């Protein structure tokens, strides 16, 4: 059976128009708003994005506002979404465009791809959703749909596979580029599900899907195993002194750049090791509480952490940024990995 891929267009769009979810970014044609949604949706679930998206646009409604917002406030709006370089790149991009006197994102795929934080996927999704460009967005959902249709056993991490589907789908893209892009994503999200349970009986494309015919859906997509994540152990210290909490700003490059964190040490310290260390750095205290052990998993790295709450009676001068508990909640953004420990702070 050869796949005549142009046959997917009509049934797919018909299905989408009937079944699509009511999502906030589907109510707008504004390229700024669509851009924000696409960046938030990278690496983050639709359900988690909805509220962030609405709040973000209330506080930062235009490209000009995004260019002008304080970085700390921007990161606060992003707090909890993870992958903070997305937020910083949004602003870099806005500043660049505003500086050039532009009122909106460029209406050209190649120009879009040159902008900070906009790779081939985001350029294609923004282009086809906001600007009627015939640029199909190839994300993990779409690759799952396509490799199942074709029984394609190439490694989907290989760029050539993505380029190949980009080319194939751009050839059959209808005038309604927005619905086409969104319908493929939606089919991957609602029907052509990963991990063992695709709902093929409800799929508008099963009539030409090779893997449905041969009952091989679960063999696709083929994805080479990622490298094992590195494990880093840490000790998180919540230092409280005169009702204030010690924080420090992370370096402006690298993991979780420019976010705030509690004082932390490499390796997991036992209480006795910690007492010795506090003596060395001249911190006196009345009491130390052991907090629970937690793990945080990043894409390439795991933090395995233990925490201590330390009620200090003297601290070295100029050692940290001391903030009130209220400021910590409202003004400073802590990465999710560490904010779990903030729940231990008593008001
Ligand atoms: N994932 C990425 N972009 C999306 C969109 N526009 N709608 C739903 N899920 C998405």
Annotated catalytic, 38? yes
Does position 336 have pLDDT exceeding 90, yes or no? Answer: no
Ligand 1 lined by 179 (C-beta under 6 Å): no
Is the model's pTM score more than 0.85?
Answer: no
pLDDT at 8: 97
> How many angstroms separate the CA atoms of 237 and 264, rounded?
6
Indicate the pLDDT class of residue 202, thresholds 50, 70 and 90.
very high
**β-bridge partners, 294:** 305
Ramachandran class of 297: left when φ > 0, alpha when ψ lies in -120 to 50, beta otherwise: beta
> How many angstroms separate the CA atoms of 338 and 236, rounded?
8
**Dist. CA 46 → ligand 1 center (Å):** 7
* Cβ atoms within 10 Å, residue 244: 18
Handedness of CA 326, 327, 332, 338 (dihedral sign): negative
Residue matched to tokens 């190839």:
138
Query: Which top CATH class is 5-219?
Result: mainly alpha
The protein residue whose alpha carbon is closest to atom 2 in ligand 1 is 41
Ligand 1 lined by 90 (C-beta under 6 Å): no
Ligand 1 lined by 46 (C-beta under 6 Å): yes
Four-point Cα dihedral 102, 106, 112, 116, nearest 10: 10
Q: List the single range of 20-34, 100-114, 331-345 with lowest mean pLDDT.
A: 331-345
> How many angstroms separate the CA atoms of 278 and 268, rounded?
14
Ligand 1 lined by 185 (C-beta under 6 Å): yes
Probe target for ligand 1 pocket from 19, 31, 41, with the most ligand atoms within 8 Å of CB:
41
Ligand 1 lined by 240 (C-beta under 6 Å): no
Probe target for ligand 1 pocket from 119, 185, 189, with the most ligand atoms within 8 Å of CB:
185
pLDDT at 56: 97
Choose, from 6, 19, 38, 110, the residue flagged as catalytic: 38
* pLDDT tens-digit readout, 263-283: 999 999 999 999 999 999 999
Multiple choice CATH, 230-342, 3.40.50.1970, 3.90.79.10, 3.40.50.300, 3.90.1150.10: 3.90.79.10
* pLDDT tens-digit readout, 135-194: 999 999 999 999 999 999 999 999 999 999 999 999 999 999 999 999 999 999 999 999
Structural domain boundaries in the chain: 5-219, 230-342
* pLDDT tens-digit readout, 294-310: 999 998 899 999 999 99
* Mean pLDDT of the region 318-328: 91
5-219 against 230-342: fold identical: no
Question: 285: Cβ–Cβ under 8 A, 6 or more apart, which residues?
Answer: 278, 310, 311, 312, 313
* Cβ atoms within 10 Å, residue 249: 13
Question: 28: Cβ–Cβ under 8 A, 6 or more apart, which residues?
Answer: 34
**Dist. CA 276 → ligand 1 center (Å):** 51
Ligand 1 lined by 283 (C-beta under 6 Å): no
**Dist. CA 41 → ligand 1 center (Å):** 6
* Mean pLDDT of the region 81-109: 95
* Mean pLDDT of the region 242-259: 92
The protein residue whose alpha carbon is closest to atom 10 in ligand 1 is 41
Probe target for ligand 1 pocket from 38, 40, 44, 50, with the most ligand atoms within 8 Å of CB:
38
For the CA of 25, the nearest atom of ligand 1: 6
Joined together, the tokens standing for residue 273 give 């090791």
Ligand 1 lined by 288 (C-beta under 6 Å): no
Handedness of CA 142, 146, 148, 149 (dihedral sign): positive
pLDDT at 1: 59
Give the chain's end-to-end CA distance (angstroms, integer).
Answer: 67
């Amino acid at each position: 059976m050869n796949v005549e891929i142009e046959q997917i267009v009509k049934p797919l769009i018909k299905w989408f128009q009937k079944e699509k979810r009511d999502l906030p970014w589907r109510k707008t044609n504004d390229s700024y708003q669509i851009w924000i949604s696409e960046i938030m949706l990278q690496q983050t679930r639709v359900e988690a994005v909805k509220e962030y998206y609405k709040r973000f646009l209330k506080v930062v409604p235009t490209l000009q506002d995004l260019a002008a917002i304080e970085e700390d406030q921007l990161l606060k709006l992003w707090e909890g979404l993870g992958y903070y370089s997305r937020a910083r790149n949004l602003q870099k991009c806005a500043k660049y465009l505003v500086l050039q006197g532009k009122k909106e994102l460029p209406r050209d795929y190649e120009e879009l791809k040159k902008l900070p934080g906009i790779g081939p996927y985001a350029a294609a999704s923004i282009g086809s959703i906001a600007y009627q460009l015939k640029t199909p967005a190839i994300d993990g959902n779409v690759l799952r749909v396509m490799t199942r249709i074709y029984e394609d056993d190439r490694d989907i991490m290989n760029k050539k596979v993505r380029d190949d589907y980009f080319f194939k789908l751009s050839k059959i893209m209808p005038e309604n580029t927005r619905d086409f892009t969104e319908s493929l994503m939606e089919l991957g999200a609602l029907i052509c599900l990963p991990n063992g349970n695709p709902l093929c009986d409800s799929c508008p494309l099963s009539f030409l899907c090779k893997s449905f015919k041969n009952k091989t859906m679960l063999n696709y997509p083929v994805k080479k195993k990622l490298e094992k994540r590195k494990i880093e152990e840490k000790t998180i210290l919540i230092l409280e002194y005169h009702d204030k909490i010690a924080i420090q700003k992370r370096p402006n490059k690298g993991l979780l750049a420019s976010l705030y964190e509690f004082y932390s040490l490499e390796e997991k310290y036992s209480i006795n090791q910690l007492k010795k260390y506090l003596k060395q750095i001249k911190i006196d205290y009345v009491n130390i509480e052991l907090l629970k052990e937690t793990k945080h998993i990043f894409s390439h790295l795991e933090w395995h952490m233990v925490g201590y709450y330390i009620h200090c009676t003297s601290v070295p001068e100029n050692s940290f940024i001391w903030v009130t508990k209220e400021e910590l909640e409202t003004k400073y953004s802590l990465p999710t990995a560490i904010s779990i420990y903030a729940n231990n702070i008593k008001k």
